[in-house]
Amino acid sequence: MIAHSFRGEVFGPAQRLHGATFLVDATFKRAELDSDNIVVDIGLATQELNKVLAAFNYRNLDEEPQFAGINTSTEWLAKHIADQLAEKISEGALGEGAHGIDGISVTLHESHVAWASYERALRPSG
């Protein structure tokens, strides 16, 4: 759950402060399963995703210094979350097996008919 506003005529009435509630899906991709026959430790992935989301949940993003001057669109937020998860993988927070992940996709659902996704590649390091 966030609040934010946008700059630019393309956003119409969303230029005013408004709220949004998202359902967030993170998908981790790899060409081969790891030695435990998994793509990622789903428990660690859930834990780290929750940490990423906690940084802006129940906040007005217009007031957060890290988002100053940014149109925090659904698409941008999906990219931001994917980039944060990629960093967590690089740091080893999702376990050693996660270094074989070669892609992440993050989808933010605003409703059952409106959502946006961002997908990025990773370079497997192991």
pLDDT tens sequence across 3-44: 999 999 999 999 999 999 999 999 999 999 999 999 999 999
pLDDT tens sequence across 74-83: 999 999 999 9
Provide the domain count of the chain.
Answer: 1
Domain presence at residue 71: yes
Integer Cα distance of 100 and 29 in angstroms: 9
Domain presence at residue 20: yes
Residue 84 tokens, joined: 């944060």
Question: Facing residues of 20 across strands?
Answer: 2
pLDDT range class, residue 2, cuts 50, 70, 90 = very high
Domain presence at residue 82: yes
Domain presence at residue 15: yes
Amino acid at 31: A
Task: Supply the CATH number for residue 39's domain.
Answer: 3.30.479.10
pLDDT tens sequence across 54-63: 999 999 999 9
Question: Is-contact 19 111, C-beta < 8 A?
Answer: no
Domain presence at residue 111: yes
Q: CB-based contacts of 83: which residues, under 8 Å, 6+ apart?
A: 120
Domain span at 59:
2-121
Domain presence at residue 126: no
Domain presence at residue 100: yes
